[in-house]
Structure 1
Amino acid sequence: MKKVTYFIIAVFALISCSSPSQTQSLFNGKDLNGWHTDVPEMDKNPKQKSPFIVRDSMLVSLGTPAGHLITDAAYKNYRLQVEYRFAGEPGNCGVLVHASIPRSLYEMFPQSLEVQMMHENAGDFWCIVEDIKVPNMEERRGPKEEWGITEGKKRRILNLTDGSEKPVGEWNTMVIECFDDKVKVWVNGDFVNEGTDCTANKGQIAIQAEGSEVEFRKIELLPISMLSSGSTLTLD
């Protein structure tokens, strides 16, 4: 009887590790509380307006001037869900995970791993002074001797699918799961990328301003406990 009781307790403990009640909304729909900007152009021109605003209860990256909106807090072992759309012209943006040292690449990008949102390329990895491994690495990254994590190196790792994104103007859902040294990505329910041996396993989360206007209506984070590492939710 005790064994049964312990088993039931263990099951409930496991379920509670991934309880929806633990979901944290990183954007409150009103302001950018919990975030800070890093926009080099704003250093030079104090009157320059931030490329990150709140409009109609959405977080909007205006695209220019280029820079990043970065969480004040750092995170480890989580599932991040982002709902976004290019409301006008298709363009470029990205979510950075495990972000740390600011302006580590091209005096612009924080040290991190980027999950690409660029139209028709959503789910690509870009290595920004951090690295990650995927299957078929040479096929998806190019010649091994050209790999690298700094300027001038092959830092892009192609995703696994085509056609996972919705038409411009419609909402996309991207899920990024970071657990230990692994990163998995889904776009609109399609499993689009997975990497292992990431050189970072924690850090801040950042959103880019990279030339295109992008609207975000949801940015939610669900912590993943070590106890649930064998039973994390999967969408593939």
Structure 2
Amino acid sequence: MHRSLPTCLLLLSSVLTALLRAADAPAWQQLLDAQLSRWEVWIGVPHSSVTGLPSDTPQSDNVTKGTPLGLNHDPKKVFSVIEQDGQLVLKITGEIYGGLTTLASYGDYHFSCQVRWGEKKWPPRENLRRDSGLLYHCTGPHGAFWNVWKRCVEFQVQEKDFGDLFMLAGTGGDVRYRDLEVKAQYDPKGIWDPTQPLRPLGRVQRSADHESPHGEWSTLEIYTVGHRAIHLVNGHVVMAIENIRVNQSGSLSSGQIQIQSEGAEVYYRDIKLRPITRFPDNLARAAGFSP
């Protein structure tokens, strides 16, 4: 196809601009090492079915209540690092509810990781869908929610629910959604209702299911700038939140990152983060964000 000189120059300019932007992109910071040196571990209340614990360990049929094992006390090695195919992988057994928490707090970033399910499931979720989660903008004390997790925004990692939004322990936000009776589903073209953005349990369902088949890796990404955030699953925008806040007052724009153990064996790899100052234009458009 013949193109005019101005058209060719315009194409060349676009290519050069893209290359310059790529060259200027901040480097990724890898968050996973063999010693989990960038993280701390909080372990919640062991279910009464857990074996192999010291005899004086408090246990409960209700793992949301009772006495948690606490900070950096992980006798069952719920969180560990293994090597697979020459790559470091975070292994989470799921046997006890817990959170792996970054020591540092972050704001205005692009977070990325890959996740796949294992096979084991544990009480009290042995008959439920496999569950984990990426918690971000985590602030305050450990155990604020269910004696396990911090106050935070949750990128849900549950079978067939990758990217759902949960607000834990007093956080909130505004989401465009479609009403689906008892659920609200994110929709960038949906209605805007800042007075009632979330449904019971603080959940908004992702726009569509883009999870990889069981046993395969899925890529999960969080973009957050200021009080806004975007969830991606395998490159697809599935959720966008504005006016992220705490207790209806003040914006919430930074915090630690937690990875959940919640009753299912799960693996994470290539856990990394890089700073950003704005959302990529294509993602902002896909999320329905105003300029």
TM-score tier (shorter): 0.7 to 0.9
User: Structure 1 residues 18 and 109, CA, compared in 2 at 3 Å: closer, same or farther?
Assistant: farther
User: Structure 1 residues 230 and 95, CA, compared in 2 at 3 Å: closer, same or farther?
Assistant: closer
1:31-180 residue pairs with structure 2 within 5 A?
Answer: 31-41=35-45, 42-43=69-70, 48-56=75-83, 57-88=88-119, 91-101=130-140, 102-128=142-168, 129-136=170-177, 139=180, 140-141=183-184, 153-162=200-209, 164-180=210-226
Letter in 1 for 2:283: T
Q: Which has the higher contact order (CA 8 A, sep 6+)?
A: 1
Residue 202 (structure 1) aligned to one of 254, 262, 265: 254
Q: CA deviation at 1:154?
A: 2.0
Q: Structure 1 length normalisation: TM-score?
A: 0.80
Q: CA deviation at 1:31?
A: 2.2
2-side partners of 1:40 and 1:94: how far apart?
Answer: 15
2-side partners of 1:147 and 1:231: how far apart?
Answer: 26
Partner of 1:3: none
Q: CA deviation at 1:40?
A: 2.7
Check conservation: 1:18, 1:222, Cα contact below 8 A.
no
Give runs of ≥4 in structure 1 deviating > 6 Å. none
1-side partners of 2:275 and 2:23: how far apart?
Answer: 8
Q: Deviations over 1:168-221 (max 9, x none)?
A: 110000111011111101101111111100011100000000001111111110
Which of these two proteins has the greater Rg computed from alpha carbons? Answer: 2
Partner SS for 2:110? strand
Q: CA deviation at 1:231?
A: 4.3
Partner of 2:3: none
Higher fraction of helix = 1
Partner SS for 1:166? coil
Higher fraction of strand = 2
2-side partners of 1:224 and 1:232: how far apart?
Answer: 13
User: Structure 1 residues 224 and 166, CA, compared in 2 at 3 Å: closer, same or farther?
Assistant: same
Unaligned runs of 5+ in 1: 1-10
Check conservation: 2:89, 2:269, Cα contact below 8 A.
yes
Partner of 2:249: none
Partner of 1:26: 31
Unaligned runs of 5+ in 2: 1-16, 46-68, 121-128, 186-194, 246-251, 287-291
Q: CA deviation at 1:77?
A: 0.2
Partner of 2:58: none
Partner SS for 2:173? coil
User: Structure 1 residues 40 and 88, CA, compared in 2 at 3 Å: closer, same or farther?
Assistant: closer
1-side partners of 2:202 and 2:243: how far apart?
Answer: 15
2-side partners of 1:96 and 1:47: how far apart?
Answer: 20
Check conservation: 1:50, 1:65, Cα contact below 8 A.
no
1:221-232 residue pairs with structure 2 within 5 A?
Answer: 221-225=273-277, 229=278, 231=280
Instruction: Name the stretch that deviates more: 86-95 or 215-224.
Output: 86-95
Letter in 1 for 2:43: V
2-side partners of 1:115 and 1:47: how far apart?
Answer: 24
1-side partners of 2:35 and 2:22: how far apart?
Answer: 30
Check conservation: 1:18, 1:223, Cα contact below 8 A.
no
Check conservation: 1:224, 1:232, Cα contact below 8 A.
no
Check conservation: 2:173, 2:197, Cα contact below 8 A.
no
Q: CA deviation at 1:131?
A: 0.9
1-side partners of 2:274 and 2:228: how far apart?
Answer: 16
Q: CA deviation at 1:234?
A: 3.4
Number of matched pairs: 213
Letter in 1 for 2:269: R
Letter in 1 for 2:130: G
Q: CA deviation at 1:47?
A: 7.4
Check conservation: 1:78, 1:221, Cα contact below 8 A.
yes
Residue 232 (structure 2) aligned to one of 175, 186, 208: 186
